[in-house]
Amino acid sequence: AQSVTQLGSHVSVSEGALVLLRCNYSSSVPPYLFWYVQYPNQGLQLLLKYTSAATLVKGINGFEAEFKKSETSFHLTKPSAHMSDAAEYFCAVRDPQTGANNLFFGTGTRLTVIP
Amino acid sequence: NAGVTQTPKFQVLKTGQSMTLQCAQDMNHEYMSWYRQDPGMGLRLIHYSVGAGITDQGEVPNGYNVSRSTTEDFPLRLLSAAPSQTSVYFCASTRDPAGGYTFGSGTRLTVV
């Protein structure tokens, strides 16, 4: 069974500081992994995805994530936080061997950026 | 290019009423899904479709029906609304599930 755990429902960083949002997955096979961002009163927007190519994935807005099979992790990072990064971030996993729409989301991490 | 369009944006229903949440996409995507988002629970899959005429249940399908008569439209029906269905509903579509989904802006539903 697929599942995703996001450690920390709220994360606060100062503007210009490193952003680190944690995601651990549970999967019996190498999964597809995604990070989505949700700004207030909006839908989700795809930040980046891992689909078994390079383990370091670069996304939009300066974010990147590294797939670590040994740690079953897919943490999201950004070297320098900007005020516009304040949003809720969701990690999601899909087992490529099961149905096309079995996409499981974590419970989300709300990022606050302090000026 | 409008992407995924959901209507209405807000709705208040009384317990027992029925309604349909509309979802339309203009990207010719075969795969479409409905999710509900509740505080502290992330997004949970209600129903999905892999093409016109083909639908299946997701994680939380009870109380909801769907149909897919065209590639563009994927409406979600609440037959008899209950307060437990108070939530934000998102429709999403994709050409390739490995590539990630495009989400609509959501429908905020309150059942009183």
Q: Which of B4, B29, B37 to mutate to test the interface with A (most CBs of A within 10 A)?
A: B37
Is the bond into B8 cis (omega within 30 degrees of 0)?
yes
pLDDT averages per 10-residue partition of chain B, 112 residues? 90 97 96 92 91 92 96 97 97 88 94 97
Nearest-Cα distance to chain A for B82, in Å, is 23
Residue of A nearest to B104 (CA): A43
pLDDT digits (tens, 9 = 90+) for A64-105: 999 998 899 999 999 999 999 999 999 998 876 665 566 889
Contact assignment for A42 to B92 by CB distance below 8 Å: no
The pLDDT of residue B98 is: 79
Whole-angstrom distance, CA of residue B94 vs CA of residue A89: 20
Contacts of B99 in chain A (CB under 8 A): 49, 51
The pLDDT of residue A1 is: 63
∠ at Cα B109 (A99, B20), nearest 5°? 65
Provide the pLDDT confidence category of residue A32 given band limits of 50, 70 and 90.
confident
Task: Give the mean model confidence (pLDDT) for residues A47-60.
Answer: 88
What stretches of chain A adopt beta strand conformation (E)?
3-5, 10-14, 19-21, 24-26, 32-38, 44-50, 56-58, 64-68, 73-78, 87-94, 103-105, 109-114
The pLDDT of residue A31 is: 80
